A = this chain, B = another copy of it.
Amino acid sequence: MKSVPEELQRVFDWIDAHQEEAVADLQRLVRQPSVSAQKLGLEECAALVVEMMHADGLDATAYPLAGGPPVVIGDMTGRSPKTMLAYAHYDVQPPEPLEKWNYPPFGGVLAEGRVWGRGATDNKGGVIAFVKAAKAWLQAGGGLPVRMKFIIEGEEEIGSPHLGPFVEANPELLRADAMHCLDGGLNHSELVPDIDLGLKSVLYVELVARGANSDIHSLNAPLVPQPAWDLVRALNTLVDENRHILIEDWYEDLWELGEEEMQQLEENARRVDLEGLKKEWGLKEFALGRDGIEALKARAYEPTCNICGLVSGYTGEGSKTIVPNEARAKIDFRLPPLIDPDKAVAKLRRHLDKHGFAHIEINLAGRQMPEPPYKISVKEDISQAIIRAAELVYGKPPVVNGVSAEGTILKHVWMPTVLTGFASPDCNLHAPNENIGVDTLVQGIKYAAAILWEYSKSA
Contacts of A307 in B (CB 8 A): 226, 228-229, 232, 312-313, 324, 327
Contact A302 B222 (CB under 8 A): yes
- Whether A223 contacts B290 by the Cβ 8 Å rule is yes
Q: Does A281 contact B (CB under 8 A)?
A: yes
**A212-B281, A216-B281 given; A315·B310 CB < 8 A:** yes
Determine if A332 and B324 form an interchain contact, defined as CB atoms under 8 angstroms apart.
no
A215 at interface, CB cutoff 8 A: yes
Chain B residues, CB < 8 A from A313: 307-310, 330
By a CB distance below 8 angstroms, the chain B residues around A343 are: none
Expressed in whole angstroms, the minimum distance between the Cβ of A72 and any Cβ of chain B is 21
Q: Identify the interface centre among A218, A404, A432: most chain B CB within 10 Å of its CB.
A: A218
| 1/0 contact string of A304-327 vs chain B (CB within 8 Å) | 101111111111111111111001
Q: Is the pair B224, A314 in contact by a Cβ cutoff of 8 Å?
A: no
Q: When A287-B225, A287-B226, A315-B311 are in contact, do A220 and B299 touch as well, CB less than 8 Å?
A: yes
A239 and chain B: residue at smallest CB distance: B229
| Complex alpha-carbon distance, A189 and B306, angstroms | 46
- Pick the most buried of A287, A304, A324: most chain B CB atoms within 10 A of its CB: A287
Question: Across the interface, do A38 and B217 meet the contact criterion of CB distance under 8 Å?
Answer: no
Identity of the chain B residue whose Cβ is nearest the Cβ of A406 in the assembled complex = B219
Question: Across the two chains, which residue of chain B brings its CB closest to A364?
Answer: B319
Complex Cα spacing A437 to B202, Å: 52
Is A283 located at the chain interface by the 8 A CB criterion?
A: yes
- Residue contact B232 to A319, C-beta cutoff 8 Å: no
On whether A306 and B281 interact (CB within 8 A), knowing A222-B299, A299-B219, the answer reads no
Does A345 belong to the interface (CB within 8 Å)?
no
Q: Inside 8 A of A431's CB, which chain B residues have their CB?
A: 214-217, 322
Nearest to A222 among chain B residues (CB) is B298
Within 8 A of B (CB), among A399-431: 404-407, 428-431
A334 CA to B222 CA in the complex, in Å? Answer: 11
Query: A42: shortest Cβ distance to chain B, in Å?
Result: 12
Closest to A230 in B: B241
Which single member of B222, B404, B406 contacts A243 (CB below 8 Å)?
B222
Q: Whole-angstrom distance between the alpha carbons of A283 and B366 in the complex?
A: 30
Q: Which residues of B contact A334 (CB under 8 A)?
A: 218-219, 221
A232 to B207 alpha-carbon distance, docked (Å): 14
Within the complex, which residue of B204, B228, B404 is in contact with A321, where a contact is CB–CB below 8 Å? Answer: B204
Q: Please indicate the chain B residues that have their CB under 8 angstroms from the CB of A213 in the complex.
A: 281-282
Please, how many angstroms separate the alpha-carbon atoms of A290 and B100 in the complex? Answer: 47
Q: Shortest Cβ distance from A223 into chain B, in angstroms? A: 4
Known: A310-B327, A330-B319, A430-B322. A405 touches B281 (CB 8 A): no
Partner of A309, one of B36, B232, B290, B320: B320
Chain B residues lying within 8 Å of A323, measured Cβ to Cβ, are 306, 308
In whole angstroms, what is the CA distance A42 to B318 when docked? 15
Within the assembled complex, what's the spacing in Å between the Cα atoms of A216 and B236?
22
With A158-B319, A320-B37, A334-B221 as known contacts, state yes or no: A306 contacts B226, CB within 8 Å: yes
Beta-carbon contact of A283 and B317 below 8 Å = no
Contact flag A318-B366 (CB < 8 Å), given A218-B308, A225-B283, A306-B323: yes
A145 proximal to B (CB < 8 A): no
Contact (Cβ within 8 A) A295 B221: no
A318 to B330, CA, bound (A): 9
The list of the 10 closest CB pairs from A to B, nearest first, reads A37-B318, A213-B282, A318-B366, A228-B307, A219-B405, A222-B298, A311-B315, A310-B312, A309-B313, A309-B314
Show the binding face of A for B, using Cβ within 8 Å. Answer: 36-39, 93-94, 96, 100, 157-159, 202, 204, 212-226, 228-229, 231-233, 235-236, 239, 241, 243, 277, 281-283, 286-287, 290, 295, 298-299, 302, 304, 306-324, 327-328, 330, 332, 334, 365-367, 404-407, 428-432
